[in-house]
Structure 1
Amino acid sequence: MKKLGILLIATALLALGACKGSGSKKKFLPPSTGGINTLMVIMDTELWRGPVGEKIRDEFAAQIVGLPQIEPKFTLTQVPPKVFKGTTTHSRSILYVEQDSTSLAHIKDDAYAKPQKVAVVTGPTEEVMIKNLDSLADRAIKEFKANEIAEAQRRFERSLSKDKALEEEFGIHLDVPSLYKVGRREDNFVWMDIQIPKGTMNIIAYEMPWDYFSNDSTFVEDIVRMRDSIGEKYIPGPYENTYMITEKAFAPYVFPAEIGGKKAAEVKGVWEIHGYPMAGPFLTYIINDEENNRKMIIEGFTFAPSEAKRDYMFELEAILKTVEFEPSAASD
């Protein structure tokens, strides 16, 4: 391979030399850099403008489901290989694509910085490169996203809320940034929010009976019914008789998930206000908390009219994915 191959080989040799020469000493890696959900794409500009670049945009800048407007999975920045040096190599998420006699599709951890994911795709022809991109894209997107979630969590862990409402009501813990405040707390309901420039970001939690979702064939309808009943009871709109419901025009997306060490359903969709023109995205986790004979529900939703919402919802997802179940929550 060309420049990337030389850099990776040099990195490996340096690491090997360090191990032989100093025993326990490890190679120093600078901290990785970059905005959340940004992906540095290292490839020739001609390739970027052609079918290979189009394949990259189709996969890595595809539309995120569950948002009210079109927003990409990652913000892509294309850089020619000749400038891939110095601090450019410290980017947290890198996709390196090169036309080369060797055919490769793999992911390397912490090649030039830490934490870092470097996806490498090469091939002798555009057709082979596109095939290799196709084979690697799903795994690369998953690993890039997991790395970004971890980075978001590291950032807000610097200052966490000390409020105990979630622990006291449900026996769960979330790493919530200290700027979020509890605005409403009732029996079986906690609502925390934070003001953003043109709206709010919100976290709510409540529990449902273990057997609430009794039929797989009506699962989506039951989710909508659950959310709408909670919205009517606890989440009012700006005027009397207005309240949050699930958008009627489109059914939410539902995916299997694991969170807090438990099986769950991940639900993405759009909320709206019954009787008033307001809407925004939501992310709900329905967690099978069998030990406590309940479905634990945690949700994040955003109100930010005319604003991009990807990164807001990403922060909420990062928060929700820190959920831990306290031993004291177990039923006797």
Structure 2
Amino acid sequence: MKHILFLVSLLFIFSCENKKSSNERLIPDASGAINSVSIVAENDLWKGSVGEAIRSVLAKPIYGLPQDEPTFTMSQIPPSVFSGFVTKNRTVLKIETNKEKGIKIANNVYAKPQKVIVISGKRKQDIIDVVKENGDKIIETFRNMEIAERQRQMSKSIHSFTSIKEKLGLTIEFPSIYKIAKETDNFFWFRKDITTGHSHLMIYELPFEALKKNDSTVMQIIKIRDSIGKMYFKGRLDETVDADGNTINSFMVTEDAYTPFSGEIILDNKPAFETKGVWELTNDFMGGPFINYTIEDKINKRWIGVEGFIFAPSVEKRNYMLELEAIIKSIKID
């Protein structure tokens, strides 16, 4: 009798495991373009004040780009047709009326990986209030999902530059399509050709005393990146002679007319300074956005600088910059 009960128990457990595995397989893979959000809302809400509130959050211009580009590209879907393949987008914002005012965030509801944010309210104004009060949370939730997705995509073909770990004691994941442009004992510069331009990544080490944490930290970071630009990133006209016989100096600097954004974050469990802005070449007409992270590595008594920047005239730059941010946020310091 004991043996029979034991066998029945095993069969029950096996059946539950199979059922669980079967259910997991039924959830389709998420899809959709990077930085796109599906908005599930009735047409009248989308065309009215509720839609305006949503657009004011999700379509606001990204700071740090030379031209205005929306944070996300949105596509509105009425609830009556929200079924089948249209439910598979990685990021979904649902608006539900005649329900208690609030916001809920769920994972893998219709596909995986997926983030579904549900905003509800009994009145239109309730929904508008929730959207505006939680704007930063909504953006952060969707951006983190997109960064994770870009990291997943890039992990399929990772570079093989072992010297980064050997020289700097860190790892960072970026696609093998990036080629080395410059390498020293404490500096790496990688480059990838993109549509009408190129994307760049640089990684470097600074002595601990090179940067002081005070009210001028951001300006110190700008000064350091400008000195690196002057040393390594020369323009096409650098060292040529103009019509008056003067030697031209052309190198990368931070554009003075565009005030850099700065903030403090945690990266690889370490405090870091985040700086976004626009770069340009002196005595030339090239420029573009950059994103810089300067990480405090107390254990090794140093700072690690990681920066991505692009030159891509006449094309949108949002997704290129997201890729660079995803690369930088993969960093692991020994």
| Superposed displacement of residue 219, structure 1 | 1.5
Q: 1:82 to 1:232 in 2, by over 3 A?
A: same
Q: Could you say which residue in structure 2 is the equivalent of 1:267?
A: 275
Residues 244, 79 of structure 1: alpha-carbon distance in 2 compared, 3 angstrom cutoff? same
What's 2:319 paired with?
A: 311
| Equivalent in the alignment of 1:213 | 211
* SS of alignment partner, residue 82 of structure 1: helix
Mapped pair 1:321 → 2:329:
yes
The structural deviation recorded for 1:141 is: 1.4
CA distance in structure 2 between the aligned counterparts of 1:71 and 1:48, rounded to whole angstroms: 21
After TM superposition, the structure 1 = structure 2 runs for residues 1-332 of structure 1, keeping only pairs within 5 Å, are 22-24=15-17, 25-26=19-20, 27-28=23-24, 29-240=27-238, 241-326=249-334
Shift, 1:103, TM fit: 2.5
In structure 2, the CA distance between the partners of 1:97 and 1:153, relative to structure 1 (3 Å rule), is same
Match of 1:264, as an amino acid? A
| Pairwise CA distance, 1:98 | 2.5
SS at match of 1:211: helix
**Is the Cα contact below 8 Å between 1:66 and 1:282 reproduced in 2?**
yes
Q: Is the 8 A contact 1:105 1:135 kept in 2?
A: no
Which structure 1 segments of 5+ residues have no match?
A: 1-18, 327-332
Distance 1:100 1:50 in 2: 17
The 1:168–1:20 alpha-carbon spacing in structure 2 relative to 1, beyond 3 Å, is: closer
Aligned to 1:4: none
Distance in 2 between the 1:148 and 1:106 partners?
Answer: 19
- SS of equivalent to 2:216: helix
AA aligned to 2:296 is: N
Give deviations 1:106-158, integer Å, cap 9, x for gaps. 11111111111111112121111111222333222111111111100110111
Give the Cα separation in 2 of the matches to 1:139 and 1:219. 27
* Aligned equivalents of 1:246, 1:205: Cα separation in 2: 17
In structure 1, distance between residues paired with 2:29 and 2:71? 23
Larger radius of gyration: 2
2:170–2:331 Cα contact (<8 Å) kept: yes
Give the total of aligned pairs. 308
- SS for the counterpart of 1:258 is strand
Contact 1:161 1:175 in 2 (8 A): yes
Offset from partner CA, 1:286-314 (integer Å, 9 cap, x none): 00011111110010000001111000000
In 2 relative to 1, CA 89–215 (structure 1 residues): closer, same or farther, beyond 3 Å? closer
In the alignment, residue 307 of structure 1 is paired with which amino acid? V
